[in-house]
Structures are given as structure tokens and as C-alpha cells.
Amino acid sequence: MTRAATYDAIVIGSGITGGWAAKELTEHGLRTLVLEAGGPIDPAKDFVEHVQPWQLHFRGKGDRRTMERNQFIQKNCYACDEWSGKFFVNDNENPYTFDADKPFHWIRGRQVGGRSIMWGRQVYRWSDLDFEANAKDGHGVDWPIRYADIAPWYSYVERFIGVSGERLGLSQLPDGEFLKPMELNCAERMVRAGVAKQFGGERVVTIGRCAILSENHRDRAACHYCGNCERGCITRSYFNSIGVTLPAAKATGRLTLRPHSVVHSLAFDPTTRRVTGVNVIDATTRETMEFNARVVFLCASALESTRILLNSKSPEFPNGLANSSGELGRNLMDHVMGAGANGTLDGMEDHESYGNRPNGTYTPRFRNVKTESPDFLRGYAFQGGGWRGGFGAEAPGFGREFKAQLRKLGPWGFQFYGFGECLPRPTNYVELDKAKVDAWGIPALHINCVWSDNEQKLLQDMSVTAAEMLEAAGAKNVKQFVDHNPPGLTIHEMGTARMGRDPKTSVLNAHNQAWDALNLFCTDGACMASSANQNPSITYMALTARAVDYAVDQMKRNSL
Ligand SMILES: Cc1cc2nc3c(=O)[nH]c(=O)nc-3n(C[C@H](O)[C@H](O)[C@H](O)COP(=O)(O)OP(=O)(O)OC[C@H]3O[C@@H](n4cnc5c(N)ncnc54)[C@H](O)[C@@H]3O)c2cc1C
Ligand code: SF4
């Protein structure tokens, strides 16, 4: 084993949270090593948002046989296609297991930038409704923080990354520091007005809040609405770590980024109660090496960070580092998604939309906000949007009438698509698989996760309330739907090293610091004590910046 140089800080992972940790640590003056399992990305070569289907070998349909062979899990994600498939992992090299009756779709990116390259960019603050939920209904453990603790950090993150959105003044979805909102189209304005009239402000249709620039921001250009962001963005108009946080870290002169560095485990010294080494396998040479630093930030994504901790065994922690509570790996959550309704809207036939706005509508949570539902706990929000129906190529018929049909646009349509909160439950958990290892010999995860009755009830209710709102807007052909997606597919997995107030029932304290190893911080989705229903990544970013601020302060006081 090679013993390599010592740094002030090590960050494991370079995705959404690793990028933020690197920026903050280096800007605070710390020489920081970022260890990233995947390879680098060259935007000039690898970003393909402007490549047209006819320029691709399979015309955008993808090589089904190769995907079936190498990306049999990843292909379930809408964004894993002939353009973006290269940003998703090879499922053979990165295996995990689950019981046949408990499917879990674990969608991953292994490269510098992680999933910030292909993410959907929807960003919503949490509120006290979310931070107080566990304490109120007794599921999970109480969050050790409240909205007031994280609000300044949301602002800090929003100001840096650029978030476009509309201010609404809702208690359950606090406003942020927004760039101007993107515009609603005519169908969306019609639905917004119908919903406002019928539901008197309780239900609201707004434009999505997203980490995409609606105007030039810092040194980045406004979005030009080409619309396929999961393929990359050469103008850096949406937030990803390779275009925004990692360049900021690099500019300090204190960043060392080491791609192809697969972290195997962490070494722990029981005398000093600190992490003393990060054990790495070089993905290309297979050489093993150890890196050291005064402080370690684990940002490898919720389940990968948990896997590293479970694999870091010592006499004191035979079941994984920082696991004196026994909660490491437990309380896995994802959002339950895929129920709603769609319909068509008469009129507005002289209107069409121009460009591809990379954003839709959002309807914040309204269940269990002011009045309690007798049927289920917590709530859900809708993403969605309006669109002009395409040319009628799939219409029945032939001959002259069919040809005429092909030249006409269809009616306007609208869809509400729900994302619901998942309760934290110890019976949803991950553990190391006893037999399976990945391409680098590291034990794979075995994932046990199923939706509870509460999540199923949220899905049912989504389809009812979505239809009500479409009817309020005068929509025709309203169709309710309930898709039964497996956990994992919403790609908001979280909770397996939760924060808490008590070391007996949680892995991390109020500052994302491991109770059992004081120089170890974990700030990715593993830290979440509940899931709320909002897309989570901006909360991870805010928690990361907050945790670095705390760690640096502790280092200055020599307490760390
Ligand atoms: C298609 C898609 C759409 C999404 N849409 C949204 C959205 O709209 N809003 C939202 O909030 N979230 C969304 N997400 C989820 C979001 O991408 C994740 O929540 C976020 O990326 C998590 O950040 P992270 O830093 O924890 O992990 P990642 O961004 O996944 O980064 C983790 C990094 O760690 C590296 N790593 C893993 N294991 C190791 C190891 N052993 N050693 C070294 N490095 C390692 C990985 O290679 C990776 O680069 C979406 C995700 C996808 C794929
Ligand atoms: S739609 Fe905007 S943010 Fe997305 S890739 Fe195009 S320019 Fe970039």
C-alpha cells in the first residue's frame, strides 16, 4: 500500500454535495483532496445537448441489446438514453442485490460531477412543517435542526448557484432568493386560474423553481431553452459541480482532484476517536493507497457513503464505522412518485410554444398543511405542465385526410404528476451483501425497501386531487393514473445515516458530524432524518455548506 500526502481535508465524491464541500473547504483556506471514483468529463467533447437524433448511431433509440446487458437497472431512468447513457453506471461493474419481491432501482452516476450532470434541477426549500413532522407524528427521530437553522444556508446556496422561481409567500414552501421566474405557457395559465378560482389559494400552480439561469448570473450565461439538460450544458446555464462549484474550488489554488479513486473504507483510531486514513483503490491501476487529513467529508451519495461506512470495520465497530447506534443503513427513504391525472384543454389553437423550456409547473403540498387528512400522514406535491399536442402521426386513417391531419397540431394538454413523502422506517434498510462484490472487490449492498400503506394512500389521493384540479380548469378527457414505481426510481434515496439529537438513535449530530468519530462529516442524502416531499438536493447543498462552516470553526478553536 502506498501512503500518500496528508491534506487539511478530504472530500469523498465530487457530485452535488462533494462539489459544495470542496468549494467551501478550499475557500476557507484548507488544502483539500477530492477523491472521485469515476473519470473526468470534458464538456467540449462529452456534452451532447445539441446533438440531433440523426447524428446518433441508433437515431436516439439507443442500442437496446447493450443497454439490456450493461445498464439493465439504469435504463429504467428516463434520462438514461443514447445521449446520456454514458453518464450512468455500468450495472455489472456496480452491482447490488435485492429480494425478488422487493425491487429497488438504484440510479447512479460515477464521474467527476456525479449526478449533478444529469439531474432534473428542481430545487425547493423545506419548511418547519417538514422539520417538525417526525416530532409531531412520532415516525423517525426528531430533526436536530429547524428551518431557522438552515434558512441562511439555503440563501447562500441559491445566491451562488442561481435559482429561478416565483415568490408565493407560502408557509409550507418558503420563498428563496430567486432569479426571475420562467414563463408559464397559455395552458398553464389557464389551469393556474381555474385552480385558484376553485381552491381559493389552498392549491397553487406555479412555475417550477429550478437551478437553471433565467438571466446571466455571475460568470454564467442565461439558458437558451435547448431543453435537454441531462445531456450536459456547454453554456453552464444549469448548476452542476463541474461548471460551478469545482471551478470555484480550483480557483483558490488549494484543490487537488483525484479521479479514478475508489474509496474502499476509512481507518479509525479508537484512542483519538478520529478517522486516520482513507483507503483507496485506483480504478485504473488497482493500486491500493491511503490518504490522510485532519477532517473527512463523506459525500459519495446516500447509499455509497453508507456502503463505505459499513465496510469500515474495526474491533470497536464490527458493524460499520460510526454505528454505535445500530442505525447505520436503516431508515432508507425515497419519494413515492407517479400518480396524477392528465387532460386536454379546448381553445388557444392559435398559440404554440417556442423553444424547449427546461422546466415545468409545480403545485406545492396542500394535504395536511392547514387541515389534517384522516387517511394518511404527511403529503405530496405535483410537478407537471401544459403542452401543445404534436403533429398527428399516430392518428388513425390514410390518404388525403391523414396527410392533412399530419400538418395540424393537436389540442393543448396538461398533466399533474405527484411526488410524495416517504416515512422513515427501520425495516427499510441496506446491509453488505455476503457474497457479491463490485468490480474493485468491494462488498456490494443488499437493499431491502418497500412502500408502506401510507405511501400507497398518497398515490391514490394524488390521482383524485389532480383530476379535481383539471376539472376546475375546464379540462376534457381527464384521465387519472397511478403508476406503481419501485423505490429508488425517484432517485431521491436518503436517510441511512440520519442526523438526530441522541447518539443512541442517530449516526450524525446537528452539524452532520459523526457522533462516534468527530473529524468525520457526512452531508449527502444519508444524513436525512425524514424525506419531506420536495426534491432534496438543495437541502443537501445547504447542509453541506453549513457543516463545513461548523467544521472550520471547530478547527480554528482546535476542537477538531
Ligand atoms: C435523472 C435525474 C434527475 C434528478 N432530478 C433531481 C431534481 O430535479 N432535484 C433534486 O433535488 N434531485 C434530483 N436528482 C437527484 C440528485 O441528482 C441527487 O440527489 C444528488 O446528485 C445527490 O448528490 P450527492 O453529492 O449525494 O451524490 P452524487 O451527485 O451522485 O455524487 C456522488 C459522487 O460520489 C462518487 N462516489 C461514489 N462512491 C464512491 C467511492 N466509493 N469512492 C469515491 N467516490 C465515490 C460518485 O462517483 C459520484 O461522483 C436527480 C437525479 C437524476 C439521476
Ligand atoms: S435548456 Fe438551458 S440549461 Fe438546459 S442544456 Fe439547454 S441551455 Fe443548458
Query: pLDDT (tens digit, 9 = 90+) per residue, 324-379?
Result: 999 999 999 999 999 999 999 999 999 988 889 999 999 999 999 998 888 999 99
Phi, psi of 492 (to 5 degrees): -120, 40
CB contact at 8 A, 525 and 357: no
Pairwise CA distance, residues 399 & 484, whole Å: 40
Give every residue of the chain whose pLDDT is below 70, as ranges: 1-5, 392-394
Nearest ligand to the C-alpha atom of residue 488 = 1
Give residue 540 CA to ligand 1 midpoint distance, Å.
11
Nearest ligand to the C-alpha atom of residue 283 = 1
The ligand 1 atom at the shortest distance from the C-alpha of residue 525 is: 26
What pTM, to 2 d.p., does this model score? 0.97
Kindly report the protein residue whose alpha carbon is nearest to atom 8 of ligand 2. 233
**Is 293 a pocket residue for ligand 2 (Cβ < 6 Å)?**
no
Pocket-testing residue among 123, 432, 537, 543, ligand 1, by greatest number of atoms within 8 A of Cβ:
537
User: Smallest Cα–Cα separation from 492: which of 455, 446, 454, 545?
Assistant: 455
Give residue 353 CA to ligand 2 midpoint distance, Å.
16
**Is 50 a pocket residue for ligand 2 (Cβ < 6 Å)?**
no
The ligand 1 atom at the shortest distance from the C-alpha of residue 308 is: 41
Task: Give the SS3 label for residue 215.
Answer: coil
Which positions ≥6 away from 234 have C-beta within 8 Å?
A: 43, 44, 47, 49, 50
Whole-number pLDDT of residue 2: 66
Q: pLDDT tens digits for 438-490?
A: 999 999 999 999 999 999 999 999 999 999 999 999 999 999 999 999 999 99
**Is 185 a pocket residue for ligand 2 (Cβ < 6 Å)?**
no
**Is 213 a pocket residue for ligand 2 (Cβ < 6 Å)?**
no
The ligand 2 atom at the shortest distance from the C-alpha of residue 357 is: 1
Kindly report the protein residue whose alpha carbon is nearest to atom 4 of ligand 2. 229
**Which residue type sits at 291?**
F
Pocket-testing residue among 491, 528, 540, ligand 1, by greatest number of atoms within 8 A of Cβ:
491
Give residue 117 CA to ligand 1 midpoint distance, Å.
9
Kindly report the protein residue whose alpha carbon is nearest to atom 35 of ligand 1. 13
Nearest ligand to the C-alpha atom of residue 522 = 1
Angle between helices 186-199 and 453-472 (to 10 degrees): 100
Give residue 77 CA to ligand 1 midpoint distance, Å.
14
Q: What is the DSSP string of 145-208?
A: --HHHHHHHHHHHHHHH--B-----BTTB----PBPPPPP-HHHHHHHHHHHHHHTTSS--EEP
Pairwise CA distance, residues 502 & 524, whole Å: 20
Pocket-testing residue among 87, 217, 223, 242, ligand 2, by greatest number of atoms within 8 A of Cβ:
223
Which positions ≥6 away from 507 have C-beta within 8 Å?
A: 322, 323, 325, 327, 328, 497, 498, 499, 500, 514, 515, 516, 522, 526
Pairwise CA distance, residues 212 & 230, whole Å: 12
Kindly report the protein residue whose alpha carbon is nearest to atom 19 of ligand 1. 537
Give residue 554 CA to ligand 2 midpoint distance, Å.
40
Ligand 1 neighbours (beta carbon < 6 A): 12-18, 35-38, 77, 79, 107, 109-111, 114-116, 118-122, 230, 261-263, 299-301, 304, 308, 491-492, 524-525, 535-537, 540
Identify any residues that bridge with 503 across adjacent strands, giving them in sequence order. none
**Which residue type sits at 539?**
T
**Is 235 a pocket residue for ligand 2 (Cβ < 6 Å)?**
yes
Give residue 303 CA to ligand 1 midpoint distance, Å.
10
Pairwise CA distance, residues 186 & 118, whole Å: 28
Q: Count other Cβ atoms within 10 Å, centred on residue 298.
A: 34
Give residue 452 CA to ligand 2 midpoint distance, Å.
37
Type and span of the H or E element at 480: strand 476-482
The ligand 2 atom at the shortest distance from the C-alpha of residue 227 is: 1
**Is 211 a pocket residue for ligand 2 (Cβ < 6 Å)?**
no
